[in-house]
Structure 1
Amino acid sequence: MAKSIKLTIDGVAYDQWLSGEVTRDLKDFAGAFSFTFRDPERSMNALPFASNAAVRKLKPGPSVEIKIGRRLVLKGAIERVEAEASERQTSITISGRDMTGDLIDGAAMADEAEFKNVKLEEAAARVAKPYGLSVRTEIDTGEPFQRYSLDLAETGFSAIEKGARSRHALVLSDGVGGIVITRTGQTRAPAELRFPGNVLFSRGTFSHEGRYSETIVRGQGEKAGKQRGAAALDATAEPIGADDREDGDGSATEKERKGTVATGRSKDDEITRHRPIVYLARSKADNVSAQDEADWFNRTARAEGEEFTHTVKGHEASGQLWTVNQIASVSDAFLDVDRDLLISRVVYREDSAGIATDLTYQSPEAFDKEPVGNRRKNKSSKSKAKASGKLDGTASAL
């Protein structure tokens, strides 16, 4: 039976693998893959009973292309090879990431640099160009940055992500050599998810770890809020004597402080204990960008405290691949969830047990700046009545 996941290494189709996974995750940026298979060449060299097969040894470095069905979903390289052997068999596991993996690990620039008056997508394109990556934006990224500084030894992804964070934009890898600047949930998932129903397995995590009662971001702007005129020098003026000098009242210092120091605050009303945290803005900040960054920290921490995962059969629904950054209608009687959620992670799996996809959801407000509203609340009871009934916790086993 033909496999759904198709692996090509250095242009050669490879289908001897026993299990395979392809992962896309909003939090990890780069797509990842892992394949495990029996290694005929190593078996032939090590075990007298092994059959001879014309399969070369695999090492880190070769390029990889992965298709699911006919759709190309990942272009990258093998980064790691793990070989195992016992008395009766050998196996090898290869893993790696798509082309943006180098941007996560490598420096943005060899030396400190600074871009002036650039929009987010322009700064991202300059950072990504040496890595052979393209950049496209699906949104208006707002006003240009007056100064976009790249710190020494800052990674390429970190240099792009800090700008996106201050604009409440989402930076994604398209898996095949491109970077996409977008917003969350621009499209809907191809089908509703129901447990009991089309969901085979359900798992949820609820945690207050990493969440804080108030998130504070402090930063420093480029200059005071008002423009100052240049004071002309008077070559004929006499020096002011000590007795003629007037003491200041401190008002100028206070005005200067207010003009240069930016602060953003965001509260998590679900955390009732005193648990504040303070971050320093990673780029030149005004009060607006500092507030946006504080909101971003607060929302992402809250979302990471609630994660739900469903396993469904196959890799597609209604002829479309499940994919990240889609809004899905989720109803789970076991987890008591009945609302729209954002697909934040997708794992396509294929092995001897069959073909399945793991879908991980988070609350959609985690990655945008729109009002939270009712997005963290379940649908009304009328809507629930249409879904599958609740599980009966008092029922006895059959």
Structure 2
Amino acid sequence: MLLLPAVDPTRRVVLDIDGRKLDQWVRVDLTHDLSELSASFELSFRDETRSIETWEYATPVAGEGPLDWGAKCEISIDGETWLIGWVDDVLPEAGNMPGTVTIIGRDITGDLVDCPPDPRGKHEYRDISLTEFAEKLCKPFGIKVRADVDVGPKFDKCVVEAGETVLSAIAKYAKQRGVLVTTDRVGTLVITRSGQERAADDIAFPGNVTRSRGSFSARERFSDYFVKGQSEKNGGKRAKTAALDATADPLDAAPTQPAPATDAPEDVAEGAGALVMGHAQDKEVTRWRPHISMARTKANAFDAQRQAEWEMRTRRGKGDKEDYVYRGFRAGTANQLWKPNTLAMVNDRFARLDRDMLLAGVRVSYSQRGEETRLRITGPEAYDLLPEADRRAKKSSGKTKASASTSAGKLDGTARPL
């Protein structure tokens, strides 16, 4: 959506470049969304330096010079640092009157999205944790790594494929562990899970937000999710194992394989061998809609199963989307800025939502509309692997029948979601 410049600039947002502070913005657009690794900014101001060089009647402003791309910068709101990053683009625009200059950039993790790991470095790492692997790839860029959650056991091997970016290399292993890779916007790559904190305020419509727009879709949801891969140990001499007697249990039981769609020979699953397969079901999709994906890395049965569950939960969570407009930058009794990756209780009578949702994206803007924060919410499991009972316990979605919203009944342990 195009946001037109405001007549009066805001001074609540400050851009600091090498000690030079710019704080008269006619348009502000600051975005941090979990669907993108790095946060971004787009700021527009009236550049007096360029104007005086162009029009004889323009009034010069002392101490200013033209801006250019490549500069490191810091953005703050009300004195609170919001982002540290780089200026990617400078876009001057003018007509028959003094024009504006728009500055576009991202926080410093943007380089991890664009660039490969150091080509001179190693491309294979053994017996390494996800955090250690991320640290080695991020170190040449001067970016720190922090893990807020348990990242699980070490990988036997992590491989950087030719041509892939730092983000791609880290993300494929993060997916196996069911964790989220994001940014703190000020110089650190964060390995975490979704919804570890509460949002600045609850969301209510009608109430503290002025606009509600939702999407409840089944297009990207499936009944059964299959993840296939190959284990690391393929071929070679078999290890000696103790013989099983009639009462013995398997030494290393793999997840139960799902039944084939039919009992025809061509539908029977392949032998175990080096093939591993994970399987998860979305019981809310009642017709047969299978989905299959291949593990991007060598995977054992546990990894394949976990990835299948991750695929099911994330697609289910992303099927429920809602956008809200909040007037102002700060919210709640603590007068805080809205942050992504936080949980908010959403009560929206029109969308028939009445449960915790994940604040997946925040867009702080200033324009002719004034000060606004646009909030993108989605299902709380959209970026995580936590059990269903913990994330969807209180549910009243857009696809729920109207009569269900007034029902006082509770689900027991065996009840099926509405």
Is the shorter-chain TM-score for this pair beyond 0.5, marking a shared fold?
Answer: yes
Answer yes or no: is 1:46 the counterpart of 2:54.
yes
User: 1: CA distance between counterparts of 2:53 and 2:219?
Assistant: 50
Q: Give identity over the alignment, percent.
A: 38
Deviation of the 1:105 alpha carbon = 0.6
User: 2: CA distance between counterparts of 1:11 and 1:216?
Assistant: 54
- Judging changes above 3 Å, is the alpha-carbon distance between structure 1 residues 226 and 190 closer, same or farther for their aligned structure 2 residues? farther
Question: What amino acid sits opposite 1:91 in the alignment?
Answer: T
Q: What are the within-5 Å matches in structure 2 for residues 170-181 of structure 1?
A: 170-181=180-191
| Residues 139-148 or 312-321, more deviating | 312-321
Answer yes or no: is 1:129 the counterpart of 2:139.
yes
Question: What amino acid sits opposite 1:313 in the alignment?
Answer: R
SS of 1:162's equivalent?
A: helix
Corresponding residue to 2:340 among 276, 299, 324? 324
Match of 1:107 in 2: 116
Contact 2:319/2:379 (8 A) holds in 1? no
What are the superposed Cα offsets for residues 157-182 of structure 1, whole Å, 9 maximum, x if unpaired?
A: 11111111111111120101101111
Corresponding residue to 1:29 among 37, 58, 65? 37
Question: What amino acid sits opposite 1:78 in the alignment?
Answer: V
SS of 2:43's equivalent?
A: strand
Contact 1:309/1:360 (8 A) holds in 2? yes
Question: What amino acid sits opposite 1:68 in the alignment?
Answer: I
Corresponding residue to 1:118 among 128, 138, 148? 128
Match of 1:7 in 2: 15
User: 1: CA distance between counterparts of 2:284 and 2:239?
Assistant: 48
Question: What amino acid sits opposite 2:13 in the alignment?
Answer: I
Q: What are the within-5 Å matches in structure 2 for residues 1-398 of structure 1?
A: 3-54=11-62, 55-110=64-119, 113-223=123-233, 228-229=238-239, 258-272=272-286, 274-317=288-331, 318-373=334-389, 374-375=392-393, 377-378=395-396, 381=406
Aligned length: 358
| Residues 23-32 or 215-224, more deviating | 215-224
Match of 1:252 in 2: none
5+ unaligned residues in a row in structure 2: which ranges? 1-8, 241-269, 398-404, 409-418
User: 2: CA distance between counterparts of 1:300 and 1:155?
Assistant: 23
What are the superposed Cα offsets for residues 302-338 of structure 1, whole Å, 9 maximum, x if unpaired?
A: 3333211111122222222210111100111121111
What are the superposed Cα offsets for residues 235-260 of structure 1, whole Å, 9 maximum, x if unpaired?
A: xxxxxxxxxxxxxxxxxxxxx96242
| Residues 201-210 or 18-27, more deviating | 201-210
Contact 2:93/2:99 (8 A) holds in 1? yes
Deviation of the 1:185 alpha carbon = 1.2
Deviation of the 1:154 alpha carbon = 1.1
Question: What amino acid sits opposite 1:157 in the alignment?
Answer: L
User: 2: CA distance between counterparts of 1:226 and 1:312?
Assistant: 61
Contact 1:33/1:97 (8 A) holds in 2? yes
Larger radius of gyration: 1
Contact 1:300/1:367 (8 A) holds in 2? yes
User: 2: CA distance between counterparts of 1:201 and 1:141?
Assistant: 38
Contact 1:109/1:150 (8 A) holds in 2? no
What are the superposed Cα offsets for residues 88-141 of structure 1, whole Å, 9 maximum, x if unpaired?
A: 231121111000000011002416611111111111111111110111111111
SS of 1:364's equivalent?
A: coil
| Residues 309-318 or 164-173, more deviating | 309-318
Deviation of the 1:228 alpha carbon = 3.1
User: 2: CA distance between counterparts of 1:269 and 1:43?
Assistant: 62
Q: TM (normalized to structure 1)?
A: 0.83
Contact 1:108/1:153 (8 A) holds in 2? no
Question: What amino acid sits opposite 1:292 in the alignment?
Answer: R
Q: TM (normalized to structure 2)?
A: 0.79
- Judging changes above 3 Å, is the alpha-carbon distance between structure 1 residues 322 and 225 closer, same or farther for their aligned structure 2 residues? farther
Note the aligned Cα RMSD (angstroms): 2.5
- Judging changes above 3 Å, is the alpha-carbon distance between structure 1 residues 48 and 324 closer, same or farther for their aligned structure 2 residues? same
Deviation of the 1:155 alpha carbon = 0.5
User: 2: CA distance between counterparts of 1:218 and 1:277?
Assistant: 11
Question: What amino acid sits opposite 1:6 in the alignment?
Answer: V
What are the superposed Cα offsets for residues 168-206 of structure 1, whole Å, 9 maximum, x if unpaired?
A: 111120101101111211111132111111112211122
What are the superposed Cα offsets for residues 67-98 of structure 1, whole Å, 9 maximum, x if unpaired?
A: 12232121001101222221223112111100
Contact 2:31/2:39 (8 A) holds in 1? yes
User: 2: CA distance between counterparts of 1:280 and 1:378?
Assistant: 33
SS of 2:41's equivalent?
A: strand
